[in-house]
Amino acid sequence: MDGFWAVVVAAGRGRRVGAGINKVLLPLMGRPVLAWSLGAFQRAAGAGLEGIVLVGGPDELEQFAEIVRVGGFDAVRSIVAGGERRQDSVSHGLAAVPAGARVVLIHDGARPFVSPELIKEVAEAAARSGAAVPLLPVADSLRRFDGGLVTGEVERDGVGRAQTPQGFRREVLEEVLTLLRRGGATTGPGADAAPPLTDESAAALRAGLPVAAVTGDPANLKITTAADLELASVIARGRCEYRTGTGYDIHRLVAGRPLVLGGAEIPSELGLDGHSDADALLHAVMDALLGALALGDIGWHFPPGDERFRGASSLNLLAEVMRLVRAAGAQVVNIDAMVIAERPKLAPHIPLMRERIAAAAGVDAGRISIKATTNERLGSLGRGEGIAATATATVLVPALR
């Protein structure tokens, strides 16, 4: 099939979650819910996705743009303001899709675990049939109830829960949106008594259009309540993996320079020589974090010949590294570091160094370990000519799947 476009609708308030903000902005394992949803579609680029239009509330567009920027979601081609109703938001999104797009998928931004495989399957079914919806078979017995009393049974065979993305050929979607603007079809027996239309596939059915059924995914839940968010957190953790990186740095001790280690200035007659503040401990920590995520090293990000970093505080550089860590959706689990120095005595300063690193990494100080040792007077370090540091960082990051 040819390529397809996606409209990710995320303009709802999500009042039932009880957070007071748009639920797609709530954190899920350190990333906004919306970032998980966009990440799934970003990975579908290899399966034919040509672009994403993101639809948000008028007062949230800057926040959405920042999520796109930090997450590196370059498949998002535009971000537009939604409307009062879902169909208004979908219409605004469709208007931003290039006129030549033949197939368009509509997805709820509050469904963070849609798989690239399901996205592709829906797109292919929509291209063949005109419209397609993922359906999850109902496993529980169903009952009708009214006023606290059970009034009847519902046959569950042939019944499924509709999910998104829902896919349409463009001309079908345009017809569906026209129907939704009119409030529903008025033809056919019982049309006047039909339930309210809740999504695009329901409108297509009401219009008598064929809609293909695609097998849904139990993990593709929609976050609607606080309980859904708790369940999503469990699923998100299961879709993460631990990664570990190591770092090492060494600097010569010279006169006329302050001694800075772990972001703390330590009384000393000698300081470390370097282009920045030469904080060997933080440099090792930064390399460990970058290594855990395969993001290069500090020499690549902060070249020693770049005048922008002359005399720079390594705490500021660590803040930039942490921006990259968060952009990867990663959380710092722990950092274990070692400083090798004959002098000065570092033990009294370790609590402050741990606090500084923990604050920069956004974690509790209990996740930061710093040890100090000597080189037993062996080699250049043992002669007090310099200070070295090693670090190991473990992070939790969403797995690519």
Q: How confident is the model at residue 62, as a pLDDT?
A: 94
Read off the pLDDT of residues 232-259 as tens digits, 9 standing for 90 and up. 999 998 888 999 999 999 999 999 999 9
Q: How confident is the model at residue 401, as a pLDDT?
A: 44
Query: 177 and 79 in contact (C-beta within 8 Å)?
Result: no
Structure confidence at residue 390 as a pLDDT band (50, 70, 90): very high
Domain ranges of the chain: 4-139+158-238, 241-398
Q: Is the pLDDT of residue 190 over 60?
A: no
Average pLDDT on 43-62 reads 92
Query: 380 and 349 in contact (C-beta within 8 Å)?
Result: no
Average pLDDT on 132-145 reads 92
Q: Is the pLDDT of residue 184 over 70?
A: no
Q: Is the pLDDT of residue 305 over 90?
A: no
Average pLDDT on 202-227 reads 93
Enumerate residues 6+ apart whose C-beta is below 8 A from 130.
Answer: 168, 169, 172, 204, 209, 210, 211
Round to whole Å and give the CA distance between 270 and 258: 7
- Bridge pairing between strands 103-108 and 4-10: parallel
Q: Is the pLDDT of residue 188 over 50?
A: no
**What does residue 335 show for φ and ψ, rounded to 5 degrees?**
-130, 130
Q: How confident is the model at residue 194, as a pLDDT?
A: 63
Q: How many CA atoms lie within 13 A of 232 on its CB side?
A: 29
Q: Is the pLDDT of residue 279 over 70?
A: yes
CATH code, 241-398: 3.30.1330.50
Read off the pLDDT of residues 144-168 as tens digits, 9 standing for 90 and up. 999 889 999 988 888 899 999 999 9
Which CATH architecture is the domain 4-139+158-238 placed in?
Alpha-Beta Complex (3.90)
Stretch among 5-14, 89-98, 128-137 having the lowest mean pLDDT: 5-14
Read off the pLDDT of residues 11-47 as tens digits, 9 standing for 90 and up. 876 555 555 678 999 988 878 999 999 999 998 887 8
Q: pTM for this one?
A: 0.74
Q: How confident is the model at residue 298, as a pLDDT?
A: 95
Round to whole Å and give the CA distance between 278 and 311: 8
Round to whole Å and give the CA distance between 21 and 38: 19
Q: Is the pLDDT of residue 187 over 60?
A: no
Stretch among 77-81, 82-86, 105-109, 262-266 having the lowest mean pLDDT: 82-86
Enumerate residues 6+ apart whose C-beta is below 8 A from 140.
Answer: 156
Instruction: Compute the residue count for the chain.
Output: 401
Q: How confident is the model at residue 186, as a pLDDT?
A: 46
Q: How confident is the model at residue 217, as a pLDDT?
A: 96
Return the SS3 of 215: strand
